[in-house]
Amino acid sequence: MDGFRNITSGTCPENRFRAQLGTTDHHPLALHLLQLETGRFCRSSKVLLRPRTSQEVAHILRYCHERNLAVSPQGGNTGMVGGSTPVFDEIIVSTALMNQIVSFHNVSGVLVCQAGCVLEELSRYVEERGFVMPLDLGAKGSCHIGGNVATNAGGLRFLRYGSLRGTVLGLEVVLADGTILNCLTSLRKDNTGYDLKQLFIGSEGTLGVITAVSILCPPKPSAVNVAFLGCPGFAEVLQTFCTCRGMLGEILSAFEFMDAECMKLVGRHLRLACPVQESPFYVLIETSGSRAGHDAEKLSGFLEQVLGSGLVTDGTLAADQRRAKMLWALRERITEALSRDGYVYKYDLSLPLDRLYDLVSDLRARLGLHAKHVVGYGHLGDGNLHLNVTAEAFSPSLLGTLEPYVYEWVTRQRGSVSAEHGLGFKKKDVLGYSKPPEALQLMQQLKALLDPKGILNPYKTLPTRT
């Protein structure tokens, strides 16, 4: 912390940013090209601070606030929209050293920990005590719980345990001026005034730095089954989902889907073999319950039904944990396979289930040979499509064919242009597709109230032009 005193104050970084662009506004393409100059996202900060305590975070923010120094909060840096990386010269405040578990209550399942705890380590900790974390995602080995809360991450257990907006019980947050806001309650019920923690869940580091989290962990299911199925069409995927919900009910914990293009890419780039007959679509189903025999009986009844009715053409059940992990890897490693295929245009969308895949087919026809691959996969059970387009390299003309077309398509279906990844730097200017002007205005007012000098994650989440 000593070196911290030597950081030069000076002009607000935002002013320098504007000077560099030669404009008082940010042209989306200029910013996009800027991203490409230095890699996936711009990283030009000269200062990385790694506080260990909330008091140290408060000290840093107080210092930065007094001197108009912009700050970029950073967790595991696994975010998909460039929220945690500096755009210009923001000071990075990393939670990497804030990795202490404060308490765990083995009756209520309430875990209280610092924001920098890695999700996978928390999972291991609570699983040893007979509980699970209410969220799980492909980036679990690196992402921090503070980053998860700041992005309101969805992930693979959303279908079963719901949003972090329900499972996070309390937060400790350091505000832009260094004030420590201690709302770290462990109560399930607390209707005293406004629920302030909700403001910070999903605020992507623009309203405060989350320093500690209190979260409700459900009991660990003693029987987990994973099935991987091939479906002949998307209509059959939807029918399989309906049948699954009806027949598996409370034990259904995940319903994920991927198309044949995804399978081709995980095969080509990661050498993962398809475990079932080649099909246009694949579905991964997970059940989590407390009685193995009861769950197996339900699952085999369901499989008999979907295979017999032609909804599913082929399927496999994981006989042990190793095999279950292999099946999950096919779904969880799609992001990795895509990044090895070339430049990736990524869209994380919420859509009505019956139109969910139409956008993928539509874009495939629209882009033709201009794209290498147009793929669709995601958390079908949550109505969440990950639409990805790969190309040899970034091309402004391909971007122009994709945007605003994709956003307008989603808006016509009353969907969301960011289902779970947030807006960060990459998507901030598309917020207006999913929220009315009145909501945008209120968001700007809240930002001005909590961070009047705009030092927390400038250029992120809220649009440049409203």
Ligand X SMILES: Cc1cc2nc3c(=O)[nH]c(=O)nc-3n(C[C@H](O)[C@H](O)[C@H](O)COP(=O)(O)OP(=O)(O)OC[C@H]3O[C@@H](n4cnc5c(N)ncnc54)[C@H](O)[C@@H]3O)c2cc1C
Distance CA 53, CA 176 (A): 16
Positive or negative: CA dihedral 237, 238, 239, 244: positive
Binding mask 215-254 for ligand X (x = CB under 6 A): ----------------------------------------
> Any contact of residue 84 with ligand X (CB under 6 A)?
yes
Determine which residue in the list 204, 256, 341, 382 makes contact with ligand X, applying CB under 6 A.
204
Strand 168-174 to 110-114 pairing: unpaired
**CB 261 within 8 Å of CB 363:** no
Task: Provide, rounded to whole angstroms, the least separation between the CB of residue 305 and ligand X.
Answer: 29
Residue nearer to ligand X on the CB measure, 171 or 227: 171
Task: Provide, rounded to whole angstroms, the least separation between the CB of residue 154 and ligand X.
Answer: 4
First to last CA, the chain: 38
Determine which residue in the list 186, 239, 316, 335 makes contact with ligand X, applying CB under 6 A.
335
Residues found in the chain: 466
> Counting beta carbons within 10 angstroms of the beta carbon of residue 37, is it exposed (0 to 12), middle (13 to 18) or buried (19 or more)?
exposed
Residue nearer to ligand X on the CB measure, 75 or 463: 75
Residue nearer to ligand X on the CB measure, 311 or 338: 338
Determine which residue in the list 45, 54, 74, 287 makes contact with ligand X, applying CB under 6 A.
74
Strand 91-94 to 71-74 pairing: parallel
Tokens representing 382 are 């949550």
Please enumerate, as own/partner, the contacts of 242-245 that have beta carbons within 8 Å and a separation of 24 or more: 243/302, 243/305, 243/306, 243/311, 244/285, 244/302, 244/306
CB-based contacts of 108, cutoff 8 Å, min separation 6 = 186, 216
Residues in the interface with ligand X (CB under 6 A) total: 36
Distance CA 341, CA 327 (A): 21
Binding mask 383-412 for ligand X (x = CB under 6 A): ------------------------------
Determine which residue in the list 13, 51, 76, 109 makes contact with ligand X, applying CB under 6 A.
76
> Any contact of residue 458 with ligand X (CB under 6 A)?
no
Residue nearer to ligand X on the CB measure, 421 or 447: 421
CB-based contacts of 197, cutoff 8 Å, min separation 6 = 168, 170, 171, 173, 183
Task: Provide, rounded to whole angstroms, the least separation between the CB of residue 333 and ligand X.
Answer: 8
Determine which residue in the list 112, 143, 254, 283 makes contact with ligand X, applying CB under 6 A.
143
Binding mask 148-187 for ligand X (x = CB under 6 A): x-xx-xxx--------------------------------
Which among 222, 189, 196 has a CA at the least distance from the CA of 321?
A: 222
Determine which residue in the list 58, 71, 126, 209 makes contact with ligand X, applying CB under 6 A.
209
User: Within 54-73, which residues bind ligand X (CB under 6 A)?
Assistant: 72-73
- Binding region for ligand X (CB under 6 A) out of 19-27, 79-87, 261-269, 442-450: 79-87
The torsion of the CA quartet 144, 394, 426, 87, rounded to 10 degrees, works out to 80
Where on the chain is the footprint of ligand X (CB under 6 A)? 72-80, 83-84, 95, 115, 137-139, 143-144, 146-148, 150-151, 153-155, 204-205, 209-210, 335, 420-421, 424, 457, 460
